[in-house]
Amino acid sequence: MSDNLKILINTLPKKLKPVARFLRHQESASGLSTTRYIQDVSTCLIPKAVFSRSIEDLTENSFLETSEEALIYLSPTLLGEYVARKGFSKGLSNDLKKEVAQTGVNLIKKGNSATNKKVLPVKAAIALAATAIPLTEFSLNYIKNLMTLKLFNKSDFKNIASLEHNEEDKAHQEKVKQSAKKHIFGAAGVYAGLLGLAGLLATKGKNSNTLQKISEFIVAPGNKLFSKNEKAKNFVNKYFNIDFNSSPKGKLVLSKGQLTTCVLVGGCGYFGASADRGKENFKETATRFPLVALYVITGSELVEKGFKNYLHRYGKCKDVLNDKKESVPFENLGKLAEKLAKERGTTVEQEFKSLVKQKGLIFGLPYLFALGVMGFFVSGMTVRATKKRYNKEHKLS
């Protein structure tokens, strides 16, 4: 952030300063992890705690949400930047080590074959090493089942959700226990294989055409699958690419493709572990998962897009919203404030304050809507739907 922008932020009213700093952080590549972490804490953990049906339910939700949030939003950078990048980049020159921070899509677009031949296999190896995260996400629900068995000696979802208070079936408990162990060890075996492939790519990739093609597919799948369809290519590269994003400071940070991977792989564990504990748990998962999955991948973006269309239609926030319904980047607000101040005969500070308010409105209201409505609505609706289904099936309504 430029010194001039820092000075302008300091001129803002006390209540507006944190808004400005949050907006700036949200738009930075490194902001995706922490912003989404805050979103998930608010939209998942708090509402689930409010709607918990028993101490077992509260414990499970607290364990899952805190573990998942830290795993999905904070681990990628730690594992990718400080472990995998450091380990797999050892054979590269200092100049090429810097290139590792760029996305595979950008490297391929630049077309420097000499660089890509050495760097892309390393990037693919780093991406594969980070699959520990979705595979751990897959395992978490099975770990949760084991935890509830250990702490509360319960495996029947009807008892956990306070739908019934019956004696536990020991045979069912053993079945849940063995299934959990089997799937956890299975996920560990899959990761061992992927880690082996990562090592092969990093050490032999630059000398093998086959490994080069595999590397390119891992870091830019859209290029391989839809080379002649620009929209499809960009969509796949954005949402189904396990490569890391790059921050302005040259660090590896969480990408939307990694979020999608966590949702899809984790979802398999989510459904599998719930099915082990009974049809009521499975149906509750089927009710909640589609909405949660969409929210995790897109955040508040869908609501934000609709809100921008509304503002543009009625001529609101026009200083920061262009005809393409794109918001002016926060880093450019200082220069825009200077320009508007000259045109309107006002001060730069006044214009900057107005611009921050407009940016805050564009991002803030949809963000708060998603936090409140999506979080509490989904949690409350899920609990109510489960109870209603149970009552209907048992004719207790």
Confidence (pLDDT) at 226: 94
- Asked if residue 252 lies in contact with residue 102, where contact means CB atoms within 8 angstroms, the answer is no
Confidence (pLDDT) at 57: 95
In tens, the pLDDT along 21-74 reads: 888 877 765 556 666 677 666 667 888 889 999 999 999 999 998 888 888 777
Confidence (pLDDT) at 74: 78
Q: How far apart are CA 308 and CA 28, in angstroms?
A: 20
Confidence (pLDDT) at 66: 85
Confidence (pLDDT) at 299: 65
Confidence (pLDDT) at 396: 55
Low-confidence ranges of the chain (pLDDT < 70): 1-3, 28-36, 39-43, 299-301, 370-371, 396-397
Confidence (pLDDT) at 36: 65
CA proximity to 51, closest of 267, 227, 288 = 288
Confidence (pLDDT) at 40: 66
| pTM, 2 dp | 0.81
CA proximity to 356, closest of 21, 34, 77, 86 = 21
Confidence (pLDDT) at 377: 86
Confidence (pLDDT) at 171: 96
Confidence (pLDDT) at 39: 65
